[in-house]
Amino acid sequence: MMSYLFYMIFVTPLFNFYFWYCYQYIYMFFIFMFMFNSSGLYLCSISYLFGVDYISYSLIILSFYIVSLMNLASLSLMSSNGSSFLFINYLICFFLLIIFSSINMLLMYISFEFILVPLVVLILGWGYQPERLRSGIYLFFYTLFGSLPLLVFILYVYNYFYLICFVFNMNFDFNFVFHFCVILPFLIKLPMFMLHFWLPKAHVQAPISGSMILAGLMLKIGGYGLIRFMYLNEFFFYSYSYVWFSFGILGSLMVSLICLIQVDLKCLIAYSSISHMSLCMMGILTMSKLGLIGSLIMMLSHGLCSSGLFCLASIYYLRVNSRSLYLIKGMIFFMPSMSIFWFLFSSFNMGCPPSINFLGEFLIMISSIYYFDFSYYYLFLSSFFCACFCFYLYSCSQHGVFSDSFSYSNVYVSEYLLLFNHLYPLVLLLFWFVIF
């Protein structure tokens, strides 16, 4: 893994120059190099404090893929300070690589904190509205104060074991306070219902690249941290996971209802992310093989599907200068070529085949029913209302009579390429999972 990190470090001087195609080549070259040189098995490519398994392997590839699509989506933002914008994206990608490949708790915690800096700079520097300062403060302080108890826990473990790696098993019992210290920062990152207030504010004020990195990658840090710390002491999670499972199953249902009253396009997509990541948290906390695989598939599918929906919302915002569903009406007449993408992404967002969303939700539901019998009723209602707000999103934006104040605008080839690159992995990965 050190070779990949040195690769990232040594390409840093290129960001003094504005070579957009060169940066895209760097990201895609890393993806192919990582795919063909890592087996993705349990803890391979170990070097110093880094190593990968099949969970971090897939999330690292997703990180570089989404960051390359961020650069493609932000061509209009790079007219001024383009090299600075690309460098901020590069820093986010670098810290994500360290988080997903670290086998040391303290190194993962440091990267977990440092990734806030380029993300807040991205929101404050390239955000849309003056309220972006407040959303950046929400994001910064939620993550900062939520992760401080984890630092206390890491110091306590080091004082007790003199070891802070993820490859050992802690064989003594903790109380609920220690469990809360471990799990709190990752519940905020997911985010769990009742700890989600920073997410809609950050999404609304962030540029398209900020929304893509938040929905596609930052929320996955929460699920990844839960998986990593769950392996340290299974009994630790087995004793208290029912508390957070209850919040997840209730939050998935409540947030689905909240989506039905949203009038802001990006707010609706942001709340749908909270609903889907609540399902992901439920699959992890069942502590079963089906739940873990289903949660991993859900993280990959949500990273692509939600990022694609934010790209569609940004395409409309650039033409209409509004995100209100009261004003965005009849877009099937205004931009008919985008209607098929809206239909496919809305369908995949509700878990329709042939997308990997369907496979992930199916496995999570099976594991949740094994864990708690009566969760069947909640999951049925949650799936029903999820389909309702996806239909609501599609019908409100595409149908109706559009305003005369709209000016017709073509769709660029780069935007078609961006949406297609979000769409085809959702279908192709399903066949890959079915075969293997």
Q: Give the span between the Cα atoms of 426 and 336, in whole angstroms.
A: 23
Q: Residue 178: what pLDDT?
A: 83
Mean local confidence (pLDDT), 203-227: 88
Mean pLDDT score across all residues of the chain: 86
Close Cβ partners of 375 (under 8 Å, ≥ 6 residues apart) = 249, 282, 368, 369
- Per-residue pLDDT at 99: 93
pLDDT at 389: 92
Three-state secondary-structure class, residue 102 = strand
Residue 185 has pLDDT above 70, yes or no: yes
pLDDT tens digits, 316-366: 888 888 888 888 888 888 888 889 999 999 999 998 888 899 999 999 999
Separation of alpha carbons 85 and 361, rounded Å: 35
pLDDT at position 42:
66
pLDDT of residue 281: 93
319 within domain boundaries: no
Q: Is the pLDDT of residue 407 over 70?
A: no
Which of left, alpha, beta for 111 (phi over 0: left; psi -120 to 50: alpha)? alpha
pLDDT of residue 328: 85
The answer as to whether 84 is a domain residue is yes
Q: What is the tens place of the pLDDT at every residue in 374-398?
A: 888 899 999 999 999 999 999 988 8
Q: Which amino acid makes up residue 71?
A: N
Residues 234-254, mean pLDDT to the nearest whole number:
88
Asked if residue 196 belongs to a domain, the reply is yes
What is the rounded CA–CA span in Å between residue 417 and residue 122?
A: 24
- State residue 324's pLDDT score: 87
Half-sphere exposure of 426 (CA within 13 A, CB side): 30
Task: Give the model's pLDDT for residue 278.
Answer: 92
**Residue 285, by phi and psi: left (phi above 0), alpha (psi -120 to 50) or beta?**
alpha
Q: Establish if 369 belongs to a structural domain.
A: no
**Amino acid at site 87:** F
Residue 221 domain boundaries: 2-308
Tell whether 331 is covered by a domain.
Answer: no
Of 219, 246, 409, 226, the closest CA to residue 331 belongs to 409
The CA-CA-CA angle for residues 89, 314, 98, to 5°, reads: 20
Residue 326 CB neighbour total at 10 angstroms: 10
What is the rounded CA–CA span in Å between residue 133 and residue 122?
11
3-class DSSP assignment, residue 425 = helix
Show the tokens assigned to 203.
């999404």
- Helix 234-259, helix 265-285: angle, nearest 10: 150
pLDDT of residue 434: 61
Contact 74, 115 (CB under 8 A): no
Q: What pLDDT is attached to residue 10?
A: 85
Q: Which residue has the tokens 């990844």?
A: 224
Looking at the predicted structure, is the pLDDT value of residue 221 above 70?
yes
- Between CA 436 and CA 418 the distance in angstroms is 28
The answer to whether position 349 is within a domain reads: no
Residue 145: predicted pLDDT: 86
CB-side exposure of 248: number of CA atoms within 13 Å? 26
Confidence bin at 39 (pLDDT 50/70/90):
low
- φ, ψ of residue 104 in degrees (nearest 5): -115, 130
Structural domain total, the chain: 1
- Lowest average pLDDT, out of 169-178, 255-264, 265-274, goes to 169-178
pLDDT for the residue numbered 171: 67
Per-position DSSP letters for 336-363, written without gaps between them: HHHHHHHHHHHHHHTT-TTSHHHHHHHH
Residue 35 CA to residue 123 CA, distance in Å, equals 31
Whether residue 79 is predicted with pLDDT greater than 70 in this model: the reply is no
C-alpha 52/C-alpha 37 separation (Å) is 12
> Range with the lowest mean pLDDT among 49-53, 223-227, 260-264, 430-434?
430-434
**Predicted structure pTM score:** 0.93
- The label of the residue with tokens 């990658």 reads 217
What SS3 class is residue 93? helix
Residue 181 lies in a domain: yes
E strand or H helix that includes residue 276: helix 265-285
DSSP 234-253: HHHHHHHHHHHHHHHHHHHH
Residue 115 predicted with pLDDT over 80? yes
In a domain, 407, yes or no: no
Condensed to tens digits (0 to 9), the pLDDT of residues 416-433 reads 999 999 999 998 887 776
Both structure tokens of 282: 């439920």
Locus of tokens 């689905």? 256
* pLDDT confidence of residue 403: 64
Looking at the chain, the whole-number percentage of residues with pLDDT higher than 90 is 35
C-beta separation of 211 from 310 below 8 A: yes
Lowest mean pLDDT across 19-33, 35-49, 252-266, 408-422: 35-49
Using CA atoms, how far apart are residues 128 and 217, in angstroms rounded to an integer?
21
